[in-house]
Chain A
Amino acid sequence: MTMTITATHGGAAVPTAAEIEAGIQARMRRRRLLVITLRIAILVVALGGWEISTRAGWVDPFFFAMPSGIADQIWTWITEGTSQGPLWYEILVTLEETTMGFAIGVAGGVACGILLGRNKLLADVFSIYIKIANSVPRVVLGSIFIIALGLGMPSKVALAVVMVFFVVFANAFQGVREADRAMIANAQILGASSFQITRSVVIPSAMSWILASLHVSFGFALVGAVVGEFLGARHGVGLLIATAQGAFNANGVFAAMIILAVLALGVEYLITIVENRLVKWRPAPFNEHA
Chain B
Amino acid sequence: MSLSVSPTSTGAIPVPGLAPAIELVNVSRRFVTPDGRMLTALRDFNMTVGRGEFACVVGPTGCGKSTTLNLVTGLARPSAGEVRLMGAPITGIDPGIGFVFQADALFPWRSVLDNVAAGPRFRGEKKKVAYERARDWIARVGLSKFEGHYPHQLSGGMRKRVALAQTFINEPKILLMDEPFSALDIQTRTLMQDELLALWSGSGASVIFVTHDLEEAVALADKVYVLTAGPATVKAVYDIALPRPRVMSEIRYEPEFIEIARVIWDDLREEVQIGQQRAMGQAH
Contact = CB atoms under 8 A, between A and B. Distances in A.
Interface of A: 180, 182-183, 185-193, 196, 200-201, 204-205, 207, 279, 281-283
B109 A180 contact: no
B150 A281 contact: yes
Which 10 A/B pairs are nearest by Cβ-Cβ distance? A186-B105, A190-B119, A191-B122, A191-B123, A192-B122, A281-B109, A182-B105, A189-B99, A281-B150, A204-B109
B58 interface: no
Nearest to B152: A283
Contacts of B98: 189
Contacts of A187: 107, 118, 122
B68 to A, nearest CB: 15
Contact of A183 (B102, B105, B111, B170): B105
Interface string B196-228: 000000000000000000000000000000000
Contacts of B108: 281-282
B14 interface: no
Contacts of B95: 191
A186 B110 contact: no
A188 B97 CA distance: 11
A182 B119 CA distance: 15
B279 interface: no
Contact of B93 (A189, A205, A281): A189
Nearest to B124: A191
Contacts of B101: 182, 185-186
B75 interface: yes
A233 to B, nearest CB: 42
B269 to A, nearest CB: 31
Contact of A190 (B102, B153, B170): B170
A189 B97 contact: yes
Interface of B: 73, 75, 93, 95, 97-99, 101-111, 118-119, 122-123, 150, 152-153, 166-167, 170
Contacts of B104: 182
B170 A186 contact: no
A201 B104 CA distance: 14
Contact of B105 (A180, A204, A279, A281): A180
A173 to B, nearest CB: 20
A193 B122 contact: yes
Given A185-B101, A191-B95, A279 B122 contact: no
Chain B, interface SS category: loop
A200 B122 CA distance: 10
Given A185-B99, A283-B152, A190 B109 contact: no
A234 to B, nearest CB: 45
A204 B152 CA distance: 15
Contacts of A281: 108-111, 150, 152
A130 B65 CA distance: 41
A191 B103 CA distance: 19
23 contacts: A182-B103, A182-B104, A183-B105, A185-B75, A185-B99, A185-B105, A186-B106, A187-B107, A187-B118, A187-B122, A188-B75, A189-B75, A189-B99, A190-B166, A190-B170, A191-B123, A192-B118, A192-B122, A204-B109, A281-B108, A282-B152, A283-B152, A283-B153
A141 to B, nearest CB: 37
B93 A204 contact: no
Contacts of A189: 73, 75, 93, 97-99
Nearest to B104: A182
Contacts of B122: 187, 190-193, 196, 200
A188 B93 contact: yes
B119 A279 contact: no
A192 B166 CA distance: 13
Contacts of B93: 188-189
B282 to A, nearest CB: 24
Nearest to B169: A190
A191 B152 contact: no
B107 A201 contact: yes
Nearest to A284: B152
A182 B107 CA distance: 10
Nearest to A283: B152
Nearest to A280: B150
Given A183-B107, A186-B101, A187-B118, 14 more contacts: A182-B102, A183-B105, A185-B73, A185-B101, A185-B105, A187-B107, A189-B75, A190-B118, A190-B119, A190-B166, A193-B122, A200-B107, A205-B109, A207-B109
A116 to B, nearest CB: 21
A84 B33 CA distance: 66
Contacts of B75: 185, 188-189
A191 B105 contact: no
A278 to B, nearest CB: 9
Nearest to B119: A190
A201 B122 CA distance: 12
A192 B110 CA distance: 15
B131 to A, nearest CB: 15
Nearest to A208: B109
A197 to B, nearest CB: 9
Nearest to B97: A189
Nearest to B110: A281
